[in-house]
């Protein structure tokens, strides 16, 4: 049994005058949401054996704020393949993960992360968490799955069970869609 957590980067600033999407930084709401998720990680004693992350600026900044709030040392493996990746590409990245890692945190972008959940977790109507992801996988949301695999090389469709889906607004209503 392996565990996989997926963290979508926090809200970035579209009004920032950067020339490339890759370089967009977090906005203030994204910084607050990252810290809320970091506090959640600390409060729930979550720990990761390996962190795989997109090197986009908004992912780097998300992890910096999560690290600050949770007190864990976040030393990700930066992988350009994760940037705006499809579910299939994310599966390939996971198949190359550290064999000794029991719990991996992958930090990246939608729609790839959301699609990865749908590919890994069967739609059998029994998961309220999966239903919540179907409604929306917002920025800075953290999805946690148990995978019925012994090795990361064996990760495949329908091998997971979504055990928890935490959105920033679940932790602080001011981080919901009705607030700026």
| Known binding-site positions for substrate | 58
Pairing mode, if any, of strands 142-147 and 160-166? antiparallel
**How far apart (Å, rounded) are the C-alpha atoms in residues 107 and 95?**
16
Q: Give the number of other CB atoms < 10 A from CB of residue 43.
A: 11
- Which residues does the annotation place in the binding site? 58
Return the DSSP state at 36.
Answer: H
Distance, in Å, from the CA atom of 162 to the CA atom of 145, rounded to the nearest integer, reads 4
The greatest distance separating any two alpha carbons of the chain, rounded to the nearest whole angstrom, comes to: 46
Rounded to 10 deg, the angle between the 57-70 and 28-43 helix axes is 40
């Amino acid at each position: 049994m392996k565990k996989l957590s997926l963290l979508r980067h926090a809200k970035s600033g579209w009004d920032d005058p950067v020339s490339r999407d890759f370089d967009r930084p977090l906005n203030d709401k994204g910084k607050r949401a990252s810290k809320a998720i970091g506090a959640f990680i600390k409060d729930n004693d979550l720990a990761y054996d390996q962190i795989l992350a997109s090197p986009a600026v908004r992912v780097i900044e998300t992890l910096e704020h999560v690290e600050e709030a949770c007190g864990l040392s976040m030393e990700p493996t930066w992988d350009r393949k994760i940037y705006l990746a499809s579910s299939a590409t994310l599966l390939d990245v996971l198949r190359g993960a550290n064999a000794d890692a029991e719990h991996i945190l992958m930090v990246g972008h939608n729609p790839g992360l959301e699609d990865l959940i749908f590919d890994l977790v069967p739609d059998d109507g029994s998961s309220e968490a999966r239903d919540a992801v179907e409604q929306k996988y917002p920025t800075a949301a953290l999805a946690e799955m148990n995978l019925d695999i012994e090795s990361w090389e064996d990760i495949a469709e329908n091998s997971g069970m979504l055990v928890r889906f935490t959105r920033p607004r679940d932790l602080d209503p001011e981080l919901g869609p009705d607030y700026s």
